[in-house]
Homo-oligomer: A and B are copies of this chain.
């Protein structure tokens, strides 16, 4: 497949880095987790590199023990609004849960972010795995995986109706006649579904992007179907080129089956770039970070992911021979399977698995020189495994700085990455059209609304 174009790069920001032990390095500020100036600095570095977007993961829950790593997590729409004011062009993608929000509130907040940022907002749609989150929202059990995805689909349908509830040309601003807007161009959703009833129009006009970029990151069967229908960008985790190619082909095909242009679904695997002046230096940084992991802090989370008791895992042994199947897991299905396959394939001990996850939680960690990192990125891109990458710097800000200052110029020299922003909006960076309003006639669907 010939794809002569340029690739897309997203900077996935997380505290002082994706490696869970990054905060222990001498260079790291262990209180940066809730320091807006730290994030403004990261955003400016990423924008200096002309990256497409910033991304924040999220869950409405205090993860793990606070002993393990910096645990403060500013709410993403608030934090990205602050970053909008510190940047000019880069896109701003916030994670938010369809299980623990209401469509009217969330659609409005993303529309507000899109307006405040001049068309730079994206929403990473998640259904939120984990019992602990459920117990913060009046529940005693996690809703089943398929139920969460059913609610998510209806949530997005309602959100699209809300974002289209104003036509683009509502505002008349007729001062002489005393008529501000044209009520005939307001389209209240009047939605009555299994999970939601939403009668009225949004109280925010249609936004610069029409609606925020829709992003998705689940790779289970439910997740792939959901992504094929709605997502315009997909974050995904693969350890091998073959797995990434399978996912890439599968998702593009599913999107086409929904009547969508497969090129309007951008697929971005995660990569944790450990960059050194030499390959040996990069590997030494990797080893140093893994030495700093306290594995006992990571055990409870791994046990929950696998659906076993903590007592069933022994740090210096391989995974237990018998583990619950993916079908029996109601949490993060695809992440569970990736971890099991990794452990089995490479015959890793639990401690080694924790080290691998500690760096990227299942995403591909790549240690090498800037040239080697660029080679790896281009290879996956050229071999039909990716439209771009979700860059997960293990240490922040230093790993992001190295990526921007050392890897990006190589990609630019090879003609694989922009040297200047061509557009103003997040959609423009990703080469995606501004969607037509569904109430006034759309051409090919940008996302597939259910009938």
Which residue numbers of A lie inside 8 Å of B, CB to CB?
21, 23-26, 30-31, 34, 36, 59-63, 65-75, 77-79, 81-82, 84-86, 100-102, 104-105, 108-109, 112-113, 115-116, 132, 135-140, 170-171, 173, 175, 178-183, 186, 196-205, 292, 294
Q: How far is the CB of A435 from chain B (nearest CB, A)?
A: 19
Assuming the contacts A109-B78, A112-B79, asked whether A24 and B178 have C-beta atoms less than 8 A apart, the reply is: yes
| A297 and chain B: residue at smallest CB distance | B178
Closest to A21 in B: B178
A70 to nearest B CB, angstroms? 6
Partner of A181, one of B59, B67, B182, B203: B67
A440–chain B nearest beta-carbon distance, Å: 16
A60 to B105, Cβ gap below 8 A?
yes
Assuming the contacts A24-B178, A200-B135, asked whether A170 and B81 have C-beta atoms less than 8 A apart, the reply is no
Across-interface contacts of A180 in B (CB, < 8 A)? 23, 30, 66-71
CB distance from A321 to the nearest CB of B (A): 31
Residues in B neighbouring A104, C-beta threshold 8 A: 60, 100, 136-137
Query: Which of A66, A100, A175 neighbours the largest number of chain B CB atoms within 10 Å of its CB?
Result: A66
Q: Are A115 and B205 in contact (CB under 8 A)?
A: no
**A340: min CB distance to chain B, Å:** 27
Name the one of B25, B65, B132 contacting A200, with C-beta atoms under 8 angstroms: B132
- From B23, B72, B81, A81 is in contact (CB under 8 Å) with B81
Query: From residue A404, how far is it (CB to closest CB) to chain B in Å?
Result: 23
For A201, the chain B residues whose CB sits under 8 A away are: 62
* Contact of B115 with A74 in the complex, beta carbons under 8 Å: yes
Besides A30-B175, A75-B105, 7 more A-B contacts (Cβ < 8 Å) are: A25-B175, A30-B173, A34-B205, A70-B180, A72-B115, A100-B104, A138-B198
Most buried by B among A136, A138, A196, A198: A136
Chain B, residue nearest A162 (CB): B136
**Closest B residue by C-beta to A34:** B115
Do A82 and B84 have beta carbons less than 8 Å apart?
yes
Q: Which residue of B lies closest to A83 (CB)?
A: B85
Q: Is the CB of B36 within 8 A of A115?
A: yes
Question: Chain B: which residue is nearest A132 at the CB level?
Answer: B200
Among A113, A116, A137, A179, the most chain B Cβ lie within 10 Å of the Cβ of A116
User: Once the chains bind, are A79 and B203 in contact (CB under 8 Å)?
Assistant: no
Do residues A204 and B74 form an inter-chain contact, with CB atoms below 8 A? yes
> Are the C-beta atoms of B75 and A136 separated by less than 8 Å?
no
Give 3 nearest A-B pairs by CB, closest first: A66-B181, A85-B85, A135-B199
Question: What B residues does A73 contact at CB under 8 A?
Answer: 203-204
